Structure 1
Amino acid sequence: MILDVIQVSKDLFSASFTIERENTQIGNFSLQGRLGSMEAEIQGTIHEQAFKMVYGKMDNLEVDHPFRPYLIYKESILNGTVYQTKFNGGLFKKFDYHQMKLNGMIFDLFPIGFGNEGSKSPIYNGNKQIAQIEKDCIVYNDLHNYRIFAEDSFASQIAILFCIYMYINVGYKPGEKVISSKVKVVSITTNKLLKEKYNPEFIKSIDK
């Protein structure tokens, strides 16, 4: 399935998004931050199921120094966590990536820059790719959009949560309000191990 996560508003400390499939809304979420903090609380629904994400570290995470961890709640029940971490395979074999632990499972997102083509971020469960998030390199009026290619509904929900975390980590700028702008950010990934995570054939297998 193919989804679009579309930002519809951005204020000083808040933002809102819709989630669409074939131009039909299937969910939404909003962020609310505050003065003096880079973090925000997220609340929304996916397929009529309520969820919330808040900044905080899960007990017994067993990850060294997770960066900007967020707790994930579904229907007010703590369900998992998402954070940025680091792969360290030795000299020239290091890279940052995002990891999510949800329902006892582990998912990894690998952000890969393709220059003017934008970013393409595959999501894996173990050695199996289940989804991919793509984003243009140009952002208009500080409104960020993401396209998701997922093998099924569950994989799409994982990808949506990763989209939110990607926005918090990079796109969300509390205290700033933009009326009109065009910003182009070109990133080219050169790390060979990271680039190997990208499979150009994956999205060809995804139906709408």
Structure 2
Amino acid sequence: MKKEYYRMSDNPSLFLPESQLLILNIVCALAWADNELSEEETEILLEKFKSNLPPEPEPIYFDDPDPFYNTMGLSSFTVAEQTQARVNAEIAFKDILNRYKQNPIPLSDLVSQLKTNEDRCLCAKLAYVVIKASPDNQGNLICADEKMVYRQLIQLLNLDPEVVQKIEQRADYELDKFQHPFKAFMGNVKKFFLKKII
């Protein structure tokens, strides 16, 4: 029986599109391939998740002493509510990470649930950046275990080899440009989610 990806709690203050939650699970699989989660990988994964929370807005003060925030014109949060939402999001995210570590989901089950070619390409790009986030103990730029799982992922994504090559070249260019996997990763995430939101 096919296993579905791990979801967040039912807390209404936490929102992550289903397709992005699925990609998060897939990237988790890459990060846990060597049975370790480096600080860089954790930072990348956590920031991907938090990028779905409302950005830090400018406060608008009314007669009421409590400042209210207008988030992208969608809703208003008090400072305390928005802060709590971010705390809850981090807790939910870490719960997903821990559940995945304790009970990994086969990559084939996860990839089969991707519905669009855009999501498949994004998945390949983010996975590539994640495996280059930190070298292994032998000094290799890419951990052998993570590299093996990445190759398996690429096969399951069934992308044209030329497309994969372009994705990796673009990712390498951004890694060189930003000089840090985390910054390159976040550049991709922000562009993707802005496009989705707009």
**TM-score normalised over the length of structure 2:** 0.25
Q: Answer 1 or 2: which has greater strand percent.
A: 1
Q: Which has the higher contact order (CA 8 A, sep 6+)?
A: 2
Q: Who wins on radius of gyration, i.e. which is larger?
A: 2
TM-score (norm 1): 0.24
Higher helix share: 2
